[in-house]
Amino acid sequence: MEVTRATLIWVAFGVALVVPVAFAFASPLLAWRDPIYVGAGFAGVIAIALLLIQPVLASGVLPGVSALRWRRLHRLFGGLLVVAVIAHVAGLWITSPPDVVDALMFVSPTPFSAWGVLAMWAIFGTALLAVLRRPLRLRWQVWQLCHATLAVVIVSGSVVHGILIEGTMETVSKTVLCALVIAATIKAISGLKVFTGRAR
């Protein structure tokens, strides 16, 4: 029974990640697009998928993954998320520098741009906080609170950014993925020691 349950969890997790990406690959909007633009777009798609992986790992709900391993994987995928965001922005910069400048200055006429930039800076802030936690000698409770706060900003900005964009991602699968990201993040944050008063 436990094997079956574990298998179902992993299959459901895999489907939640693969289906939206597969639909994006099959999008007719990719026709005649510049390869760099397509790559930048898919970097954004991958970033959204990584946002589901992160809280799931932080919750420790995946069967067969030890606490030590999920911590290491959480750091690894966090690094990959930073790389995906950089690739997303860099690709858009190459294809249309003025649009990126407007977005970074929060003067873009497209509402989704500001949400994306907000999430981007929160992601960079989280990465910087992770690197500097030990040098700054931050208490674990302070670190958790800061990390959780930035996670809320990241997820909120990314979800709104993704939902508002009418691009390569298929609407239903994108909406489901974003809903799962929100649910997984709420579960992960609600179980943190800084809020529950007990260690995970």
Other CB atoms within a 10 A radius of the CB of residue 174 amount to 21
Angle at 39 between CA 26 and CA 127, to 5 degrees: 120
Encode the chain (200 residues) as per-residue pLDDT tens digits: 456 888 898 999 999 999 999 999 888 888 778 899 999 999 999 999 999 999 999 888 888 878 778 888 999 999 999 999 999 999 999 999 999 999 999 999 988 999 999 999 999 999 999 888 888 888 888 888 999 999 999 999 999 999 999 888 999 999 999 999 999 999 999 877 655 555 44
Neighbour-count burial for 127-148, b at 16+ CB within 10 Å, e otherwise? beebeebeeeebeeeebbebbb
User: Three-state DSSP class for 133?
Assistant: coil
Phi-psi region of 66 (alpha: psi -120 to 50; beta: other; left: phi over 0): beta
Rounded-to-integer distance, Cα 104 and Cα 40, Å: 16
Q: What is the largest CA-CA distance in the chain?
A: 56
* Tokens 């946002």 sit on residue: 51
Count of structural domains, the chain? 1
Q: Quote the domain boundaries for residue 36.
A: 2-196
Q: Are 50 and 80 in contact (CB under 8 A)?
A: yes
Q: Which two tokens stand for residue 35?
A: 């390869």
User: Three-state DSSP class for 59?
Assistant: helix
Q: Among positive and negative, which fits the CA dihedral 140, 180, 67, 134?
A: negative
Which DSSP letter does residue 199 get?
A: -
- Domain with residue 142: its CATH number is 1.20.120
For residue 60, what pLDDT is reported? 82
Rounded-to-integer distance, Cα 88 and Cα 200, Å: 34
Rounded-to-integer distance, Cα 45 and Cα 25, Å: 10
